[in-house]
Structure 1
Amino acid sequence: MCGRYSLNKSKIELEERFQAEMLGDFKPRFNIAPTQLLPVLTTDSPKGFSFFYWGITPDFAKNKPVSQKLINARSETITQKVSFKSSFEKRRCLIPANGFFEWKRIGKKTKTPYRFTLSDEGLFAFAGIWEEYENDKGETNHTFLILTTEPNKNVGEVHDRMPVILRKEDEKKWLDNYSTEEQLIAMLRPFPAEEMSSYPVSPLVNSVSNDTAAVLRKTSPMDQFGNYTLFG
């Protein structure tokens, strides 16, 4: 499961990388978590950033709050799930990021956080789907989730799933309404391990309130209590 990611880049860097306009300001984010309002590019608006909530509500669940648990979808079954099939066909999105976090379980009660980036630590995009729904106040909200796949060798040493990171050349195709199901499914594969880097980070990342550069710093492996571990 991908439950945290980072986007510590400026508005200008985002606009240049994705060739899209962002209205308003954007501050770099170091510790992004579910339910937060975040920038995405959609099939409906590929040239302008929209801000959606992370945590999708399926179209059959009316008047429900943004979900904290439903934040990912398995890419292997995306066309089979009634709750996601329509979104996959009509409402896909790019989710900009420059890193994500996973936790390596060391023992029954011990977990160590790691950060994963591209080798050049540049921007990339997760493959996502989005949904529109009406809340109990009659307001229209937009939400998204991240598609996941089997891990590559790098991520697999820490976790049994990883987010789908799209190749840069596939990003426009992912948002193209004319892409076929076969073309889209072919993009949902593990990103090459040799093009990624990883390192242990501080357990500061465990708290959503810690949205500072400190959570990105490389450390010796530590568990959630701040104790150094023997195994990294």
Structure 2
Amino acid sequence: MCGRYSLAKTKIDLENRFAAEMLEPFEPRYNIAPSQLVPVITSDSPKGFSHFYWGLTPAFAKNKPVATKLINARAETITEKVTFKSAFKKHRCLVPADGFYEWKKIGKKTKVPYRFVQHGEELFAFAGIWEEYETEKGDIAHTFLILTTSPNQLTSEIHDRMPVILKKEQESKWLDLTTPEETLLEMLQPYPDSEMMKYTVSPMVNQVANDNPYVIRKTLPMDQFGNYTLFG
């Protein structure tokens, strides 16, 4: 599962890292949530950033709103599900990020938020797929989701799934529609935990409206009520 992530970098940072041009304005994002419009790089336009809605609406689901439930797809079954297999073949994308959030359950009601990043909090890309669909007004809208896989050791301490993070050298192959399916599936593995770290953040991240630098700062473990806990 990946239900929140961050992209706390500048437009120039993104253009330099991904060697792609961004024509639209962009401000750093600290708490990206489903249904929001965010930058991606697609197989159709690998040299530029597009802005798509997070929450896949399948092409056959015409006149449907952004699907907040279809924010992730399991890598293990991506070639089997009717909803996803066409997009996997024809509509792949990179989803730029510099971190993602998961919540550690402590007891039945208590949750402590964590942020997962690469060392140095560098930019990376999730493996994604995208679709386009016709809105009720007859316009064409674009949506995407993030693929997930089994967790590495670092994330398994918090959650039983993690987003697929591509290695830098895999990104161009992911976008290339001539890449063999076997090669693509080999990419959908847990990212090495030795190249990642995690830390606790403020429960402010629980609220989508809190999209500011404070959200990504390291804090002592706190539950959703703002109470400090020794069990984070």
TM class by smaller structure: over 0.9
Inter-partner Cα distance in structure 1 for 2:24 and 2:220: 38
Distance 2:226 2:19 in 1: 41
Cα separation, 1, equivalents of 2:31 and 2:120: 19
Q: Contact conserved, 2:93 with 2:128, CA < 8 A, in 1?
A: yes
Q: How does 1:1-232 map to 2 (within 5 A)?
A: 1-232=1-232
Contact 2:60 2:133 in 1 (8 A): no
Deviation at 1:116, TM superposition (A): 0.2
CA deviation after TM superposition for structure 1 residue 181, in Å: 0.2
- Of 52-61 and 141-150, more deviation after overlay is shown by 52-61
One-letter amino acid matched to 1:140: I
TM-fit CA distance, 1:70: 1.1
Q: How far, CA to CA, are the matches of 1:115 and 1:62 in structure 2? A: 36
Counterpart residue identity of residue 174, structure 1: W
Distance, in Å, in 2 between the alignment partners of 1:145 and 1:58 is: 11
- Equivalent AA in structure 2 for residue 47 of structure 1: K
Q: With structure 1 as the length reference, what TM-score do the two structures score?
A: 0.99
Shift of 1:60: 2.6
Q: State the Cα distance separating 1:59 from its structure 2 match.
A: 2.3
Deviation at 1:61, TM superposition (A): 1.6
Q: What is the CA-CA distance between 1:230 and the residue it aligns to?
A: 2.1
SS of 1:172's equivalent? Answer: helix
Question: What residue identity is the alignment partner of 1:170?
Answer: Q
Residue deviations 1:106-138, cap 9 Å, x none?
A: 111111100000012100000000000001111
Which consecutive segments of 4 or more residues in structure 1 shift more than 3 A? Answer: none
CA–CA distance in structure 1, aligned partners of residues 16 and 178 of structure 2: 25
Q: Which amino acid aligns with 1:228?
A: Y
Superposed CA RMSD: 0.6
TM-score w.r.t. the length of structure 2 is 0.99
Identity among equivalent positions (%) equals: 70
CA distance in 2 between counterparts of 1:136 and 1:124 reads: 35
Compute the displacement of 1:62 (Å).
Answer: 1.6
The answer (yes or no) to whether the contact 2:116–2:199 under 8 Å persists in 1 is: yes
Q: Structure 1 residue 199: deviation in Å?
A: 0.2
Distance in structure 2 (CA, Å) of the matches to 1:24 and 1:164: 26
What are structure 1's unaligned runs of at least 5 residues?
none
Inter-partner Cα distance in structure 2 for 1:87 and 1:32? 23
Deviations 1:189-212 (A, max 9, x none): 000001001000000000010000
Give the length in aligned residue pairs: 232
SS in 1 for 2:166: coil
Unaligned runs of 5+ in 2: none
CA deviations 1:130-174 (Å, max 9, x no partner) are 000001111110000000000000011001100000000000000
